[in-house]
C-alpha cells in the first residue's frame, strides 16, 4: 500500500510499504478520508516524535478484513475510528480523566512502524481494545469526509462540557480555524452569546454565519473596549483558547471578568510558555484549565451530532488532497490561505 511516512526533519515521504496484518480481535480498515489535525502538524513541524511514523487520526473508512473473534463488524462496514481508548479501570478512569490513563496514552491504530494513528495511508490496523470500544459505524448517506469530524468534534465537546456555558453567558472563542469554528457551533447549542476573534476575514464571516454575535480581528486596538461594552463592563464569562500564538492566554485574561473560566485547548506543545499575573488569577478568582483529546463518555453524542447533520461540519472543508499531494496539504494547513480551513486527505485518490 501507499503511505505518507514522517521521516524526520519535518519531512513527509509517500512510500510503498507493506499493508498491515491483523490478529485476533482486530480490524483492517481501508482509509477513505482523514483530516489534517494541528496536533499532527506540530509533531511534524517541530519533530516532536522519533521517525519513522505515519500520522493521521481523524479516520473514516471501510472494514477490509476482520480478525478472529470479532462479532460486531463485517467486511464492508463503513466506520470511524478513535485512536485512543481508556481502560475504564485505573485511577484516572475512575476520575474520568481518560486522557491521563496509561492505556489511553497507547495509540491503538497503526499503518506500520510505531503506532501514531496511521490515517495518512491506504489501510490501518485497528487493535483489539480499540475495536471493542473505539469504532462507530457510519450511517448510509453520510460521507466519509463528514464522518472524519467525529473525533475532533469529540475533543471540542469535551472542552465545552467542562466549561459548561449557561444561556445567559457571553463566551469568547479566540481563533476561528476549524477547531475554533467547531467550538462556535457547540457553544451556540448551549444558548450562550458567542463572540469570536480571528485575523482572517473569511473565518470571521463564517463565524457569524454559524451563530457568533460578533467576530473581530484580535489586532483591533479597541477590541477590549468593544468586549467590555458588550458585557456590561464586566468582561466575558468564559474564554476558549482555540489557537496558539504568543500572548494569547494573557489576551484571554484581559477579555474575561473576575470569576470567569478560561479553557486552554490549543496549547499542546511543551515548547509553549505562558505568563499571566498571579493576581489576575488569584485576586480575580479566575479558573484557568486545560482540556485535551477525546472522551469515551461523549463518543456516541459526538457521532450523533456529526452523522445527523445537526452541525454543518462539511461547511468547514476547504480542500481535499490525494495521498501523494499530502505535502501540499500540510504546507497549506501550516500557512493558511485567505479561504482555507479544514483539509482532508483522501488516501484512495492518486493525482
Contact (Cβ atoms closer than 8 angstroms) between residue 60 and residue 33:
yes
**What is residue 231's three-state secondary structure?**
coil
pLDDT tens digit string along 105-151? 999 999 999 999 999 999 999 999 999 999 999 999 999 999 999 99
pLDDT of 271 > 90? The answer is no
What pLDDT, in 10s, does the model give residues 231-242?
A: 999 999 999 999
pLDDT tens-digit profile of 27-47?
Answer: 999 999 999 998 899 899 888
Q: How far from chain centre, in Å, is Cα 256?
A: 24
2-148+312-346 and 154-290 share one fold: no
Which helix H or strand E contains 250, and what residues bound it?
helix 248-255
Q: In the block, which residue shows the cell 483558547? A: 241
Model pLDDT, residue 299: 97
N-terminal to C-terminal alpha carbon distance within the chain: 16
Predicted pLDDT at 278: 96
Question: What mean pLDDT value characterizes the chain?
Answer: 97
What is the DSSP annotation of 321-348?
EEGGGHHHHHHHHHS--TT--EEEEETT
Q: Does the domain formed by 154-290 have CATH 3.40.50.720?
A: yes
R_g of the chain computed on alpha carbons = 20
pLDDT score at 270? 84
Domain ranges in the chain are 2-148+312-346, 154-290
CB atoms within 10 A of CB 295: 21
Is 71's pLDDT higher than 90? yes
- CATH assignment of 2-148+312-346? 3.90.180.10
Report whether the peptide linkage leading into residue 70 is cis, meaning its omega lies within 30 degrees of zero. no
For 77-87, the pLDDT digits (tens) are 999 999 999 99
- Integer Cα distance of 312 and 294 in angstroms: 20
Amino acid at each position: 500500500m501507499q503511505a505518507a511516512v514522517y521521516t524526520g526533519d519535518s519531512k513527509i515521504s509517500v512510500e510503498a510499504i507493506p499493508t498491515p496484518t491483523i490478529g485476533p480481535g482486530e480490524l483492517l480498515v481501508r482509509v477513505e478520508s482523514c483530516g489534517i489535525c494541528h496536533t499532527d502538524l506540530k509533531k511534524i513541524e517541530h519533530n516532536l516524535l522519533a521517525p519513522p511514523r505515519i500520522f493521521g487520526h481523524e479516520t473514516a473508512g471501510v472494514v477490509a478484513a476482520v480478525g478472529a473473534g470479532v462479532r460486531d463488524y463485517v467486511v464492508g462496514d463503513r466506520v470511524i475510528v478513535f485512536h485512543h481508548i481508556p481502560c475504564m479501570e485505573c485511577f484516572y478512569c475512575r476520575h474520568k480523566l481518560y486522557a491521563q490513563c496509561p492505556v489511553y496514552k497507547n495509540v491503538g491504530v497503526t499503518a506500520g512502524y510505531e503506532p501514531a494513528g496511521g490515517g495518512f495511508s491506504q489501510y490501518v490496523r485497528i487493535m483489539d481494545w480499540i475495536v471493542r470500544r473505539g469504532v462507530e459505524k457510519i450511517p448510509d448517506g453520510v460521507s466519509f469526509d463528514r464522518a472524519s469530524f467525529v473525533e475532533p468534534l469529540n475533543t471540542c465537546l469535551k472542552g465545552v462540557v467542562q466549561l459548561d456555558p449557561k444561556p445567559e453567558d457571553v463566551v469568547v472563542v479566540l481563533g476561528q480555524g476549524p477547531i475554533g469554528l467547531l467550538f462556535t457551533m457547540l457553544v451556540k447549542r448551549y444558548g450562550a452569546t458567542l463572540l469570536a476573534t480571528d485575523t482572517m476575514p473569511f473565518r470571521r464571516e463564517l463565524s457569524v454565519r454559524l451563530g457568533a454575535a460578533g467576530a473581530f480581528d484580535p489586532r483591533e486596538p479597541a477590541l477590549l473596549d468593544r468586549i467590555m461594552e458588550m458585557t456590561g463592563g464586566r468582561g466575558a464569562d468564559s474564554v476558549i483558547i482555540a489557537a496558539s500564538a504568543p500572548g494569547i492566554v494573557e489576551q484571554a485574561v484581559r477579555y474575561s471578568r473576575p470569576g470567569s473560566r478560561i479553557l486552554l485547548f490549543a496549547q499542546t506543545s511543551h515548547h509553549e510558555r505562558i505568563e499571566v499575573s498571579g493576581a489576575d488569577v488569584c485576586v480575580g478568582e479566575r479558573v484557568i484549565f486545560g482540556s485535551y483529546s477525546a472522551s469515551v463518555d461523549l463518543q456516541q453524542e459526538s457521532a450523533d451530532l456529526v452523522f445527523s447533520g445537526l452541525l454543518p461540519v462539511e461547511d468547514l472543508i476547504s480542500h481535499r488532497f490525494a495521498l501523494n499531494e499530502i505535502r501540499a496539504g500540510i504546507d497549506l494547513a501550516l500557512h493558511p490561505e485567505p479561504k482555507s480551513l479544514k483539509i482532508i486527505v483522501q488516501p484512495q485518490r492518486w493525482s
